[in-house]
Each structure stands twice: as structure tokens, then as C-alpha cells.
Structure 1
């Protein structure tokens, strides 16, 4: 009877059910760790059954990346239902936040997959859209593409950073927190006058990755605004 039940589970195993189980494992509630052993246990099947649908773990990770990208696009669409507009800053802000939130819902995916490229329809259409938004704002196509890449990299880098810290055990996290909250505050003003003056603010920002991300994003977008104004000025000066 046990063998019959196991065979039945293998038979009903699908690519979609495997991905759903993998996403659950990658969430904080699921433990945030993805292995074929844990995946098999989550599915109630032998781990080797997963190989019938995915060649290896890398193929599974790319599929999870694609799902996460799709979710990020949906979040952006929901925030700006009318689609890309002339407000390039709002569109880039919403996109960056949506990408970050979709990955952080499953930290393990962020650690494993945020640096991967799928070239899926969701990904390529999003890239085209962002370049288009920046191009319409006044940047030449190549400059717009460069700014898209920078936005993506800073968003994913900060997201991986946050996800990686969240995967550390509580004792290690507490040790890092103590370094900011205690050791930096103990630095002598005569030796570190600027650190002494800013230690309280640095401690506030410790692990407040959301605020740090928003600060970085705002600074980056201010830089794009300058590039757009320069591009418009050059274009306007051409006879």
C-alpha cells in the first residue's frame, strides 16, 4: 500500500507542483533553504522524481527566477495600472521596489537566483519597457540601456545583501548588531571625530535595509535626472 501511494504521488508530480513546493521552501516560513532532499520531503516523493521535470538544480533555479520576475512585473503593473508614463522616476521607483519585494518574499531565491538571467518573455519585455521609459524621458537609447542596467544591479545587489543576512542564524545577526550598537559607539572622538558624530545614525541604519535601499535608490534617480537634463540640453542646443 505504501509503495502504491508513493507511485501515485510520483505520477501526479508536475512541473508546476514542484515549483510551488520550491517557492514554499524558499520563503521564511518554509525555512529558506532549497535542496532536492527537502523538496522531495515537501512533495512527499523521492527526490529523484524531481529530475523527471528538471535536469538539475540550476534549471530549477532559473525557473524560479522566471516566476519571481513575473511576479515583480505584476506588482509593478498593479502599482501603475495605466502602464509606463512620462513620469520616468515613478516608473523606475515602482519597478525597483516590486523586484525587491518579489525576491524578498523568498529570500533563498534572492540568494541563489538574483544574479541569474533567464531571457524569458517577462524579463525581456520588462527590459524593453524600462529602456523605452528612459528614452522617452530624453536619454539616448544606449544611455537609457546603461541606466536600466545600473538600476537592476543596485536593486538586486541590495536585495541579495538583505536576503543573505536574513539567512544567518540569530546569534550571528546579534553579533553584527552589537558591533554597530556597542563597538562603534565606544570609538573615541579624538581618534574618530566623524564616526563618533555619525555613530548614532549608522546604528539606526543597521539592518534597516529598507531605508538604506530607499536612500540609495533616491540618490541614483537624482543622478539619472541630471543625465536626462544634460541630454535634453544637448538636444535643444543642436540647430
Structure 2
């Protein structure tokens, strides 16, 4: 017999076979949605926090569900890198130096948007076989070949420009990541670091002069100037090679 105060739920027969099955509403997972969320995780939390379990939690799915689409974390990283490369432009035909400058600037901006990118490029196995990377490589080879380089030297020229952009942007991305972790503005972090920096270079007159000159300017402006200077000198060298 049931007590008068019992609810309908209380009156159900206490057996798993008598209880209606509750279907879990699982989000529709695709490789594209998994990779897009992985890129967001990498941007927000850094590469050290990328895991299939953590990514699954953000997607409201178990890690096992992710493995149906991506075999491993290494594969996921390759896919994330290629997805980010898809942000790079393929500028319209024009003078080769202008085109390379536009692509190089876009690559730097992409690395600064995704600070994990530069550090992970060398760890991503066969990431260079991704469709976006292949498309970008083919485009740049065509630009250099049209400029007058034979194909093998065009490949070396593209590698040289890419190495410069990745190299100079890596330290800048690391700085921005440190600023983000601090929860302070770039100016606030720089202001706190200046006393230690000035103390460190007190016995090095050239460095002391450079630090004094830079103190009045913003870090971002200095980085931009350094990037533009280095890029144009690399292109000067390639131009001289063509000549």
C-alpha cells in the first residue's frame, strides 16, 4: 500500500527495469567542431592544458567520443595547426615583395592571436601535409618562382622568410602570454620589470643606452619596428640575389 503523501515518483517500482530510460542529449560532434574547440582551448589556456579529457569536457562529451574522430592528441594538434594556417591570406597577384610582406605580416598577426602556434610548429609531426599549409606553401612558391627564383631556390627563399617571422614572433608571443597570465596590462608589467632590467644592464653601456631609449616607448611599438626592420632586410637580401 502507498502512503497518502507519496509522490508519483515515490510510487514507481524500485527497479532499473521499471524506470524510464533517460536519453542523454549528446552534442553532434564532427572533426571540424572538435578542432575549432581545440583551437579555442589552446588560445585561452595554452598548449600545456590541451588534453582529450579537458576538450571533451568543454564539448560536453566524453574523451572516448572524441577518439572516434581524432586518433590522438598529436593528431589533434596537427589539425589545430592547419586550421590556424587557414587564416593566412593568399593576396592577389602583384609585385613579389609586396605580396611576401603582406603574408609575413599576416603570419605574425596570426601567431600573436594564437601564441601557442610558433612553439608547436616544430612538434607537430607531418602537419606540413595539411591542406591549408599545402595551399599556403604552393602559393608562396609560385610568388617566388614568378619573381625569378628557380623552384629549388624559391623553396629556400620561402623557408628563410618563414623562419624569420616565426623566430621573431615566438619571443613576442611568449611575452604576450606572460602578460596575459599576470592579469595586468602590458604597460603595467613593463613598468614593474624596468628596475630589474636597468640594474641588469648597468655595466653594459650599449644595452643601457638602448633600454633608456626604449623606456619612453611602448613594447608593442618596439616589437613592430623590429619586425618591419628585420623583414625588409631579409627581403633586401632576396632582392639582391635576384639582381
**Both structures adopt the same fold (TM-score exceeding 0.5):** yes
Structure 2 counterparts to residues 74-223 of structure 1, below 5 A: 76-77=89-90, 80=91, 83-85=92-94, 87-113=95-121, 116=124, 117-168=127-178, 169-170=181-182, 177=190, 181-186=194-199, 187-188=201-202, 191-203=203-215, 204=217, 206=219, 208-223=222-237
Offset at 1:52? Answer: 1.3
Whole-Å Cα distance in 1 between the matches of residues 22 and 232 of structure 2?
A: 58
Contact residue 114 and residue 156 of structure 1 kept, 8 A = no
Contact residue 82 and residue 131 of structure 2 kept, 8 A = no
| 5+ long unaligned stretches in structure 1 | 230-239
SS in 2 for 1:194: helix
Cα deviations by residue, 1:7-28 (Å, 9 ceiling, x for unpaired): x316x2221221121122122x
Give the equivalent residue in structure 2 for 1:40: 56
Give the equivalent residue in structure 1 for 2:38: 22
Give the root-mean-square deviation of aligned CA atoms: 3.1
SS in 2 for 1:9: coil
Offset at 1:146? Answer: 1.0
Give runs of ≥4 in structure 1 deviating > 4 Å: 171-176, 202-208
Whole-Å Cα distance in 2 between the matches of residues 209 and 146 of structure 1?
A: 26
How many aligned residue pairs are there? 214
Offset at 1:130? Answer: 1.7
| 5+ long unaligned stretches in structure 2 | 1-19
Please say which structure displays the higher CA radius of gyration. Answer: 2
The structure whose residues are more often helix, as a share, is: 1
Alignment of 1:225 onto 2:239: yes
Whole-Å Cα distance in 1 between the matches of residues 144 and 218 of structure 2?
A: 31
Whole-Å Cα distance in 1 between the matches of residues 173 and 143 of structure 2?
A: 29
Offset at 1:121? Answer: 3.3
Normalised to the residue count of structure 2, the TM-score between the two structures is: 0.73
Normalised to the residue count of structure 1, the TM-score between the two structures is: 0.74
